[in-house]
């Protein structure tokens, strides 16, 4: 009979093996770090589209490889290919915006000066009451902030086109891994959870919450952001605003942040229209932003997310901003996932000690149900 490896946990051999296990795991993560984005998004797409693969596998039993290939083809045609077209337009518009900024043809300083000159007397009196009398200094700071922010997003989009080789390599690695994650993801995930030194119920609960948050973030937040960005870009194009794809993409990213949203892009433009006499454009943009873009979140998110786990808005806001600050664009998914796992782990710990958790991840609809009758 084979003796268990850790029958004597205090032995030198077992301690050495544990340190070796930690070392080779960290070394393996270090080797994968240059392509962590490709690995991450391959895993994310595999988790999101696992139900599609399962449905295809149900129609063609014993053909797991073919089902994974068909699911990958579906993802390419309906998700990745349209996003590639939008990215190409984004890179083109970002290049034009950067050129116009460098040549001085596009200057937020001029736009801010036009708004300042159009302010009525009551607005000047209000600014004086709050001590904002030095409008030249305010103008300078706001103009610099707007210019730097716009240049940052435009330059980031332009850098994708300049680093084409690295981008394509990561893209194909992501597709390669996505195929194997779809085909072998269930067995791989089960093996990973089996090795965790936790109780079976805890492992099942954490795994379920992890998958739920990934799917809710991508299916809910990202799709809602894409719809809001597309609507914002559409109204900008209708009103003749330059680079509608760029501003629509920026609105999509900002839509991921609760309490900020796409209004931080379209509202200043609406104010500029109203201040410079383009009242019709300003009213149309304001009405469209409030009645269409602003209501998309309330209408679509319940349909897309359903009863999936939803983090509180303040947790999503802080975790998304912090995640993007640390992990870049990948952080708008990584941040909320880390926050959800943090809350889930403390929820399990609180439940085991019979303590009421600070933040519940249970959907409100389930919380409102009466307790079952004995």
Higher pLDDT, 5 or 32: 32
Query: Would you state the torsion angle of the CA atoms of residues 348, 353, 358, 364, taken in this order, to the nearest 10 degrees?
Result: 60
Reading the block at residue 61, the tokens are 């039993």
Give the pLDDT confidence of 97-148 residue by residue, as tens digits: 666 666 666 666 666 666 666 666 666 666 666 655 455 555 556 556 655 5
Higher pLDDT, 338 or 328: 338
Query: How confident is the model over 8-20, as a mean pLDDT?
Result: 76
Q: Tell me the whole-structure pTM to 2 decimals.
A: 0.65
Give the pLDDT confidence of 212-229 residue by residue, as tens digits: 778 777 777 778 888 888
Burial letters 206-218, b for 16+ CB under 10 A, else e: beebbbbbbbbbb
For the chain, the residue count is: 374
What residue spans define the domains of the chain?
Answer: 34-195, 201-355
CA distance 354 to 357: 9
Give the pLDDT confidence of 236-247 residue by residue, as tens digits: 888 888 778 888
Position 371 confidence tier, pLDDT thresholds 50, 70, 90: low
Give percent of the chain above pLDDT 70.
67
Q: Which residue has the tokens 């984004």?
A: 90
Say what the pLDDT of residue 24 is.
Answer: 92
Q: Which of 136-145, 161-170, 328-337 has the highest mean pLDDT?
A: 328-337
Average pLDDT, the chain: 75
Give the pLDDT confidence of 232-271 residue by residue, as tens digits: 888 888 888 877 888 888 888 777 776 667 888 888 888 8
pLDDT at 374 over 50: no
Beta-carbon count within 10 A of 174 CB: 22
């Amino acid at each position: 009979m084979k003796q268990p490896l850790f029958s004597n946990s205090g032995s030198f051999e077992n301690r050495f093996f544990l340190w070796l296990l930690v070392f080779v795991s960290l070394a393996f993560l270090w080797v994968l770090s240059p392509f962590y984005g490709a690995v991450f998004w391959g895993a994310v797409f595999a988790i999101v589209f696992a139900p599609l693969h399962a449905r295809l596998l149900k129609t063609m039993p014993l053909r797991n490889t073919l089902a994974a290939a068909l699911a990958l083809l579906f993802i390419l045609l309906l998700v990745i290919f349209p996003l590639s077209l939008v990215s190409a337009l984004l890179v083109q518009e970002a290049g034009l915006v950067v050129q116009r900024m460098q040549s001085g043809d596009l200057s937020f300083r001029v736009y801010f000066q036009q708004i300042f000159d159009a302010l009525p007397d009551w607005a000047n009196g209000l600014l004086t009451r709050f001590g904002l009398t030095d409008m030249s200094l305010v103008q300078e700071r706001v103009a610099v902030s707007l210019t730097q922010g716009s240049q940052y997003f435009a330059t980031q989009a332009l850098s994708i086109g300049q680093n084409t080789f690295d981008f394509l390599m990561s893209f194909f690695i992501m597709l390669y891994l996505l195929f194997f994650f779809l085909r072998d993801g269930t067995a791989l995930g089960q093996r990973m959870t089996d090795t965790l030194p936790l109780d079976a119920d805890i492992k099942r609960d954490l795994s379920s919450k992890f998958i739920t948050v990934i799917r809710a973030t991508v299916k809910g937040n990202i799709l809602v952001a894409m719809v809001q960005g597309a609507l914002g870009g559409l109204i900008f194009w209708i009103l003749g605003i330059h680079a509608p794809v760029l501003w629509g993409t920026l609105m999509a990213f900002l839509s991921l942040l609760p309490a900020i949203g796409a209004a931080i892009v379209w509202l200043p433009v609406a104010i500029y229209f109203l201040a410079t006499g383009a009242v019709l454009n300003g009213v149309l943009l304001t009405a469209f932003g409030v009645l269409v873009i602003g209501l998309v979140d309330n209408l679509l998110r319940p349909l897309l997310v359903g009863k999936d786990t939803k983090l509180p808005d303040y947790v999503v806001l802080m975790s998304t901003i912090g995640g993007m600050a640390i992990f870049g664009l990948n952080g708008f998914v990584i941040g909320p996932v880390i926050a959800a796992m943090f809350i889930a782990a403390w929820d399990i710990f609180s439940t085991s000690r019979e303590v009421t958790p600070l933040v519940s991840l249970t959907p409100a609809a389930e919380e409102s149900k009466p307790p079952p009758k004995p």
